[in-house]
Chain A
Amino acid sequence: MDGLNLLKKDWKKRESDIPQLSYDQIYKMLWKRSSSIVKWIFVISILEFLFWALLTIFMADIDYWTEMERINLKEFTVTVYVINYAVTFFFIYCFYKNYRKISSTDNVAGLMKNILRTRKTVKYYIGYILLSTALITLIYTYFMMDYHATNTVVEDMEKYSFTSIQWIKFAGIIIGGLAVFLGLLWLFYKVLYGILLRRLNKNYKELKKLEV
């Protein structure tokens, strides 16, 4: 018998051993789109990292470093950069791991767990950024004030010393300014990741409905 015809016959015969998936099994596969959302989170984290990195490179020119050197903050700034990059890389790695995990999960329970984990990672990441920004700003303010207090020569000390009410006002302005800045930063991240997180959450809820 001709080989190709034999093959065709056998092919037809095999039609009956094809595994059949149920409606539910196929339906669940559609929820794999979570994986593409998580992929976007990963991609955005990298883009965002590049954005900040480029911004720092442009802003941190020679003048910037000379100024830092002058106020004795060069070492501190370098340390902050190193730690910041390390932590950011760590988060990018986490996003990548989440993405790998979510795209290789078949069962609904695992997918739900991964969605929750991804949401948590994003929240930690945003939390880290807000906290570190607040901390670094406060430390810089302190150092700068300290520097000016010890190095600026003033003739009339009376004129430049604060009463306690003035100190409170000053601290209020600093904290208020910082709060507004952090609020804006928070808003930025809310927009950047919020849409994706909301979609993930929607998927999560749908999956939950499937489970019960």
Chain B
Amino acid sequence: MDKELEHQFVTNLEKYQNIAHKICRIYTNDQDSHNDLFQEITIQLWKAYPKFRGEAKFSTWMYRVALNTAITLYRKKKRSIRTQDFDTVDFKIKAEEYDDETEQQLKVMYSAIQELNDIEKALVFLYLEDKNYRDISETLGITEVNARVKMNRVKTKLKNILNP
């Protein structure tokens, strides 16, 4: 195994690990599954790394591989239990930061995200990450128009959940 490649990879991943953690936040709802998915993402990234030729930025490439892992690989592995108490999980709302109403609203939003399917979660994630439609289409391997349509649907879905 190429030691230099390994070092390069781990350094990059250490730098951009936030991306993977945030994906884990969207896709899992307890610490164990978070760690599992993170591990899986790390392994998949490492497997794909020899093909990463630095044409794209590491972070761009990482968004793609990590999201694909979450969508395709992880789905097969295990279905997390949906009915988990929301306060115990990754999205702990810090009570002192918001007033009651906002706090409630956020809680509903985050649990609404948990109800979305894997592709919709990916869209919301990329939206929250402030990605433009070109990036989104490239990351998910769909056309820009398709990305726009899908994103609007998800947004409407979330809004409907929030204001029934």
On whether the two chains bind one another, the answer is yes
Measured CB to CB, the residues of A under 8 A from B are: 1, 3-4, 6-8, 10-11, 13-15, 18-23, 26-27, 29-30, 32-33, 106
Binds A, one of B59-67, B102-110, B114-122, B141-149: B102-110
Binds A, one of B50-58, B79-87, B155-163: B155-163
**Counting CB contacts under 8 A, is B39 at the interface?**
yes
How many A-B Cβ pairs are below 8 Å?
A: 64
Contact A30 B105 (CB under 8 A): no
- Contacts A3-B162, A32-B42 known; list 4 others, CB within 8 Å: A4-B127, A7-B106, A29-B42, A32-B39
Main secondary structure of the interface of A (DSSP, over half): helix
Known A3-B162, A26-B10, A26-B17; judge A8-B128 contact (CB<8 A): yes
Contact B158 A3 (CB under 8 A): yes
A residues less than 8 Å from B109 (CB atoms): 3, 6-7
B residues less than 8 Å from A13 (CB atoms): 97
Contact A29 B43 (CB under 8 A): yes
Closest 5 CB pairs of A and B: A11-B128, A29-B42, A3-B162, A18-B21, A7-B109
Give the contacting residue for A30; candidates B6, B110, B155; CB below 8 A.
Answer: B6
Cβ of B97 to closest chain A Cβ, rounded Å? 8
Contact A106 B43 (CB under 8 A): no
Give the docked Cα–Cα distance between A106 and B38 (Å). 12
**Counting CB contacts under 8 A, is B22 at the interface?**
yes
Contact B159 A4 (CB under 8 A): yes
Contact B106 A6 (CB under 8 A): yes
